[in-house]
Amino acid sequence: MGFLQRIVFLVSWTYCAAQETCKRPEFKNARYKGNQTVFHLNGKLEYECLDGYIRREERSTVDSIVCGVDGWSHLPECHETECDIPDLKPNIRAINGKDKFKVGDVLSFACQKKLKRIGPESIQCYHFGWSPEPPTCQEVVKSCGLLPKLANGKANLNIKKWSYLHGEVVEYECDAKFIMKGPKRIECSDGEWTSLPACIEVEKTCDDPPELNQGDLKSSHTPPYHHGDSVEYSCKEAFIMIGNKIVTCIQGTWTALPQCIGINQLKKCSVPPDPSDGKITSTKENDYKHNSFLLFICNANFEAEESTRIPCINGKWQRLPKCLSKERRKLCSPPPQIPHAQMISTTVSYTNGETLAVRCEDDYLLQGPEEIKCENGVWKFVPRCVSNGKCGPPPPIDNGDITSFLLREYPPGAQVEYKCQNLYKLEGSKQATCINGKWSNPPSCLEACTASPEDMLRNNIEFRWSDSKKLYSEPGDVIEFSCKKGFKKASESPPFRAKCLQGTIIYPKCIEEACVTSLEDMVRNNIELRWSPSEIQYIDPGDVIEFACKLGFNKAPGSPPFRAKCFQATIIYPQCVKESCTTSLEDMVRNNIEFRWSSSKIQYIEPGGVIEFACKLGFNKAPGSAPFRAQCLQGTIMYPKCVKETCTTSLEAMVRNNLELRWSDSKIQHIEPGDAVEFTCKLGFTKAPGSAPFRAQCLQGVVLYPKCIEGLQLKKE
């Protein structure tokens, strides 16, 4: 077989092999609970929709896709669940109706013509549709008779009646050792009571009450401790209790234990932020002591979520101030009738924060939380009741077997174990489980890999570690390659760390490496080729090229050598910087300076060299000026600065201060720095109290003038 034929064969084989497996796809609004990443031909992947999403074709929340020759059978995607407006009976209207509703949306109703509503005030959209059923409206409604009896429970009423009006609500509670499943309130609806809850016995008991550090158990209750039993704690002297002193056994577990904190160890609370749509009204302090309170108010059309009085308990506010819109929903519609859950026939609305325990029918398992909760007018955390059916024989796998004898039928929760044939590696869980009448995804048996010397030669690669001669690799193992000497990684090469997947290795690729000088790098580093006028040269791997600084530049401190070697297609360029200095006439004029020993206007100074300046005639060195001896450092000169310091008398200032020169008839005089000038008052004026002296000195170009005012002076002094 010729070389080109071998390439065509290998490419064709790789293409075919790739079609025998499918990679785990991207999920849209769905999830896959397994960890398998590669699936064999005809392999099945089961997925489920996220909450609030559904398969449009079947209105189901679970589905499966199959790996085929052309890839997956279809895309694993789910779409947002929508509820249409339900069919309504006459004389009833939807208050907040629209064309489509999303999961969590609530639809409220009102009766027309002053009729009586029978059924819920509102219903909610769930992934399985609307629940509960919409109400109806009647002109005449019936009353209900005696309350129904609840096994292992009772009505929470002081006085029982013989009859109850339509719409009356009664609350029930379970006896000790029992827990309630279903709605705790029933309602009289047109002569019939809605369904009762169930009181289920909790067999699991609690261990002995835990010990409380720096506290004592006051209760005399003796074991065993059943569901609903409570004990009481107290703290020792000089300690304060933080938390509830009553601890209750709930389904085999004690509720949270309080703490006993020393009085001198109690922490303070810092100032909390103002609530949005409200403000704190208490006087704001840096910190608040334990058991102190903070008050706040809400803006118009808003109200506090709970009390507007918030206590500080051991360094923590019991809650942050929170203001909510008065227009928000405060009641949830009656709880939903979840498919395959025990019947909940109630028309009673629930308030925010209330919960309801869910119980599935026989042969169904609860998938999700055991309770649903009413939050801001919407039921949250709605679980599912899934089939607890039996399974048939477990699915076979390629290149593997089941370790146990096959049965015709398996009970829920049953498991079987798989093993792979020799030279194959098991991926995924070795066990499959019977869940809801279906087997969980079985594992895969992955083929081993053999590195091909021919492929390595064609791609100019070798094993990275010279002592590695291993051609065989197990599935999932990583093989490391590197380029042969004189070659570099191709731009579109796969990684050098190749993983054995389904018997296939994806090889990296290397190409012969040479270096090309970069004009851009040479310009940036102020260098040129030493022995060639050309700007671009090609250098073979390992060869050396020489550079030099451009005219007017010197080698930078710490620069790489001027002789650079081509290594792995890379040249490390030396660096040159402009270091000589040229004096600036403009800077010298601006700073009133000139050369001390030269009449030249421009001079060139070598790096490290020194030049001396002096002030121009009539100027002095300015305070804080740089030294007159300036050094050339990295092409920069720090110029000294001089300022004009002679003084000139001001006629305006003399007139303003009623002065004239004492010894001169001239009106203006020039005074050298440090010299003095004498003034005297004009005729008819005298020296003002607190005036500066008549003998004024020229300091930094400034004369401090004395001052005269009208007085009795008749002649010059």
pLDDT digits (tens, 9 = 90+) for 443-484: 888 888 888 888 888 888 888 875 555 677 777 788 888 888
The total of other beta-carbon atoms located within 10 Å of residue 339's CB is: 16
Tell me the CATH class for 215-265: mainly beta
Mean pLDDT of all residues in the chain? 84
pLDDT score, position 251: 87
Q: Say if residue 673 is exposed, middle or buried (CB neighbours under 10 Å; 0-12, 13-18, 19+).
A: middle
pLDDT in tens, 563-582: 998 877 788 999 988 777 88
CA distance 119 to 112: 15
Residue 461: strand pairing partners: 483
pLDDT at 532 over 90: no
CA distance 559 to 571: 13
Q: In Å, how far are 306, 314, 322, 598 from 272, measured between CA atoms?
A: 16, 15, 11, 74
Q: What is the DSSP string of 101-137?
A: EETT-EEEEEESTTPEEES-SEEEEETTEEESPPPEE
Q: Return the SS3 of 650.
A: coil
Order of strands across the sheet that contains 230-235: 215-217, 230-235, 246-250, 253-254
Q: Does pTM surpass 0.85?
A: no
- CATH fold of the domain at 647-710: Complement Module; domain 1 (2.10.70)
pLDDT in tens, 619-648: 888 888 999 999 888 778 899 998 877 788
Structure tokens at 252: 């085999």
pLDDT score, position 152: 94
Considering only 137-141, 651-655, 696-700, which range has the smallest mean pLDDT? Answer: 696-700
CA distance 588 to 603: 12
The arithmetic mean of pLDDT across residues 252-264, rounded, is 91
Answer for the pair 509, 532: CB distance below 8 angstroms, yes or no.
no
pLDDT score, position 468: 55
CATH number 1.20.1600.10 is the correct assignment for the domain at 82-140+329-387: no
pLDDT score, position 7: 35
Answer for the pair 332, 311: CB distance below 8 angstroms, yes or no.
no
Which of 200, 192, 195 is closest to 174 using CA atoms?
200
Q: Give pairs for 182-185: CB < 8 Å, separation 24+.
A: 182/342, 182/344, 182/356, 182/357, 182/359, 183/334, 183/335, 183/344, 183/346, 183/348, 183/356, 184/356, 185/346, 185/348
Return all residues near 166 (Cβ < 8 A) that are at least 6 apart.
116, 118, 141, 142, 143, 144, 188, 189, 190, 191
Q: Which CATH number does 153-201 carry?
A: 2.10.70.10
pLDDT score, position 13: 36
The total of other beta-carbon atoms located within 10 Å of residue 599's CB is: 6
Length of the chain as a residue count: 717
Answer for the pair 74, 125: CB distance below 8 angstroms, yes or no.
no
Reported confidence tier of residue 58, pLDDT bands at 50, 70, 90 = low
pLDDT score, position 166: 93
The total of other beta-carbon atoms located within 10 Å of residue 649's CB is: 21
CA distance 310 to 317: 7
Considering only 2-16, 161-175, 343-357, which range has the smallest mean pLDDT? Answer: 2-16
Verify cis geometry, omega within 30 degrees of 0, for the bond prior to 224.
Answer: yes
> pLDDT above 90 covers what percent of the chain?
21
pLDDT score, position 627: 94
Structure tokens at 503: 């018997």
Return all residues near 634 (Cβ < 8 A) that are at least 6 apart.
577, 579, 607
Reported confidence tier of residue 236, pLDDT bands at 50, 70, 90 = very high
> pLDDT above 70 covers what percent of the chain?
94
Tell me the CATH class for 581-644: mainly beta
- CATH fold of the domain at 269-325: Complement Module; domain 1 (2.10.70)
Reported confidence tier of residue 14, pLDDT bands at 50, 70, 90 = very low
- CATH fold of the domain at 515-578: Complement Module; domain 1 (2.10.70)
Answer for the pair 197, 183: CB distance below 8 angstroms, yes or no.
yes
Amino acid, res. 498 = A
The arithmetic mean of pLDDT across residues 556-564, rounded, is 90
Reported confidence tier of residue 531, pLDDT bands at 50, 70, 90 = confident
Considering only 2-11, 441-450, 549-558, which range has the smallest mean pLDDT? Answer: 2-11
Residue 249: phi, psi to the nearest 5? -85, 115
pLDDT in tens, 268-281: 888 888 888 888 88
From-to residues of CATH 2.10.70.10 in the chain: 82-140+329-387, 153-201, 215-265, 269-325, 449-512, 515-578, 581-644, 647-710
CA distance 586 to 179: 95
Considering only 6-20, 28-42, 90-104, which range has the smallest mean pLDDT? Answer: 6-20
Q: Give 53's DSSP letter.
A: E
Verify cis geometry, omega within 30 degrees of 0, for the bond prior to 336.
Answer: no
- Locus of tokens 């959209």: 125
Return all residues near 41 (Cβ < 8 A) that are at least 6 apart.
19, 20, 21, 67, 68, 69
The arithmetic mean of pLDDT across residues 404-429, rounded, is 85
332 membership: H or E segment, kind and range: strand 331-332
Tell me the CATH class for 449-512: mainly beta
- Locus of tokens 């401090």: 704
Reported confidence tier of residue 717, pLDDT bands at 50, 70, 90 = very low
CA distance 244 to 230: 12
Q: In Å, how far are 246, 498, 651, 664, 671 from 681, measured between CA atoms?
A: 99, 103, 14, 13, 20
pLDDT score, position 329: 66
- Locus of tokens 């005036």: 691
Reported confidence tier of residue 8, pLDDT bands at 50, 70, 90 = very low
pLDDT at 688 over 90: yes
Reported confidence tier of residue 57, pLDDT bands at 50, 70, 90 = low
CA distance 105 to 476: 48
Query: Regarding predicted confidence, which is higher, 503 or 23?
Result: 23
Considering only 316-330, 410-424, 505-519, 695-709, which range has the smallest mean pLDDT? Answer: 316-330
CA distance 179 to 249: 12
